Amino acid sequence: MTSRSLQTNTRITPSLHTIASELVLEILREASLATLVSIAQTSARLYNMLRTIRSIWMNSPDIHDLPISAGETLTTIPTSSFLRLALRAVIIRTHLETPFATPVQILKIFELGVEMSVLLPGGNWVIVTHGEKMWIHNIEHGSPEIDSEPIFLASGKIEHVKFESVGSGKATLVLMIAESTNLGLSQSQALIFDLHFAPEGSSEDRPHIASVVSYHIPNLFTIVSIRGHFIMTDDPSDSGDRLVIIDYQRGSGTNFDIRLANFADEIETEELGMTIYDISFNDTLQKLVILAYLRTADREVILFADVPAIESVGTPKSGEISWSQSTLHPTHQYLVPDFQSTKLLISHDEALLSRHIPLHEYTAPSTGVYSKIFHGRDIISVRLAPKGADGEMLFFRFRYEQHPDDLYYTSFKRDHSPEFELTPSVHSRQGISCFNASCTRLSSLRISIPEELLLGRYYMIQTVNPNEGRIVLLIYDDEQENMGRLYIMQY
């Protein structure tokens, strides 16, 4: 045998285990969590790369599906934790999408009388309120009782709760408290908490309150978004056409009128009558995203704006906000076509969706031109294409066929806020259509609720968290009085 034939027979075939690390990174670019978990189990080299190279994970299209703990963010969790979290995410998704999956664990989180519950990121912590009382409880340590000591006792009824993880175990919590003055007039109080959570595995059953800032506010706002030390709220007036931003570190607040462009080419009337019903901050775009409804035109519009400066007017008194007026000029805006528009893409391609930034999801009736093709309601997902060289924003709408018996909720803000259009149910099996947190896939979940838990009583699904495979369920003892017990079902 010649030396040349020996060289030919012993040539190594290129593979992920032998090629240069730069090529591996390029091949794994935009790989899904499930793919990365599988690859990590093939060799020690790839396992170590996935344990140490952060960019592999951050480029994954479904990175937001990771079940990150309360107080942590994608930018603060250690790189070595990504693989463990991704494995957990894949297991949860597989189990949750099993036809008529049954819960592996059921936890009662509160007895009768609970009025509000917020399941925090990571799934182990829950905020529960009852009147003036608030509990922040680790459900792995059992369920709090209505007569147990609350973590906080407010001066009035707790009306709104908003939570944001900051990172490194820290978080911001904002409460809006309804108060009554001696004259019988209604006002509110905003309380901003700096929370510190203990590391995972700690025996502590509540976070530490590091500080509290309190402000009296003339109206009862709904907190819609938190961005650093900015609190963005809705307009409490009947018109609902203004944006209110409070800088709670400086005690300053600004009421913004929003200047809309002329939609004369698409809308006949000039009197639009706008109502804002959602505000968020998009990290990818680094812009405010405002979803509004044009009442006279019966159309939705999506506005984009830079975070404005908040002016300080004088020196505010202790516990008071110094208010100013200004106008917000959107940098871009998109008039959402009406339901009958034919400018829709029908797609279930996760790779295609992952290249577009999610902005808004809603259901559209399958009527008119679509009545022969679609049945029931369909989900429309509005996406934004990455900016081109000229900076132009291109919008795409994707239509998804939805099972007519499924419930629907939107998760484009990644907070899994339910938008269920149903009355209390007694059926032990339910269908839920939902996007994952990364908005790359639409799942039709088939869940089974144990009949021994229901005992024929009415119940309401309050929250669905596909990242954790958890559903918060309110089972009524007295439907007329809206009284019941809260349960978390782990699927």
Amino acid letter for position 26: E
Among 82, 97, 112, where does a domain finish? 97
Instruction: Give domain status of residue 111, yes or no.
Output: no
The reported pLDDT for the residue numbered 374 is: 44
Instruction: Give domain status of residue 425, yes or no.
Output: yes
Instruction: Give domain status of residue 103, yes or no.
Output: no
Among 97, 114, 138, where does a domain finish? 97
The reported pLDDT for the residue numbered 340 is: 60
> Structurally, how many domains does the chain consist of?
3
Contact 190, 226 (CB under 8 A): no
Domain shared by 364 and 392, yes or no: yes
Instruction: Give domain status of residue 112, yes or no.
Output: no
Domain shared by 198 and 320, yes or no: yes
The structure tokens listed for 175 are 């409460």
Domain shared by 327 and 359, yes or no: no
In the Cβ-directed half-sphere of 119, how many Cα atoms lie within 13 Å? Answer: 32
Domain shared by 178 and 238, yes or no: yes
d(CA 202, CA 219): 40
The reported pLDDT for the residue numbered 88 is: 93
Among 311, 335, 359, where does a domain finish? 335
Instruction: Give domain status of residue 196, yes or no.
Output: yes
Instruction: Give domain status of residue 116, yes or no.
Output: no
Contact 109, 127 (CB under 8 A): no
Instruction: Give domain status of residue 356, yes or no.
Output: yes
The reported pLDDT for the residue numbered 307 is: 86
Tens place of pLDDT for every residue, the chain, 491 residues?
454 544 555 566 777 777 888 888 888 888 999 999 999 999 999 999 999 999 999 999 889 999 998 999 999 999 999 999 999 999 988 888 887 778 888 887 766 566 667 778 877 788 888 888 888 888 777 766 667 788 999 988 888 888 999 999 999 999 988 876 555 556 788 899 999 998 876 767 688 999 999 988 877 677 777 777 777 776 555 556 778 888 888 888 888 888 877 766 667 666 677 888 788 888 788 888 888 888 777 888 888 898 888 877 777 677 888 888 898 888 888 888 776 655 666 666 667 777 788 888 777 766 555 444 444 567 778 888 876 555 677 887 877 766 666 666 666 666 555 555 556 677 778 878 778 888 888 777 888 888 888 887 888 887 788 888 888 888 887 655 566 777 888 88
The reported pLDDT for the residue numbered 32 is: 92
Domain shared by 182 and 315, yes or no: yes
Domain shared by 90 and 135, yes or no: no
Domain shared by 326 and 225, yes or no: yes
Domain shared by 193 and 252, yes or no: yes
Domain shared by 295 and 386, yes or no: no
Domain shared by 304 and 167, yes or no: yes
Distances (CA, A) of 43 to 46, 50, 113, 473: 6, 11, 54, 43
Instruction: Give the long-range contacts of residues 196-199, CB within 8 A, separation 24 or more.
Output: 196/71, 196/169, 196/170, 197/69, 197/70, 197/71, 197/125, 197/169, 197/170, 197/171, 198/169, 199/169
Domain shared by 205 and 327, yes or no: yes
Coil/strand/helix, residue 194 = strand
The model carries a pTM of 0.82
| DSSP class per residue in 107-159 | EEEE-TT--EEEEPTTSSEEEEEETTEEEEEEGGG----TTSPPSEE-SSEEE
Domain shared by 252 and 300, yes or no: yes
d(CA 84, CA 78): 11
In terms of residue numbers, what domain contains 187? 123-335
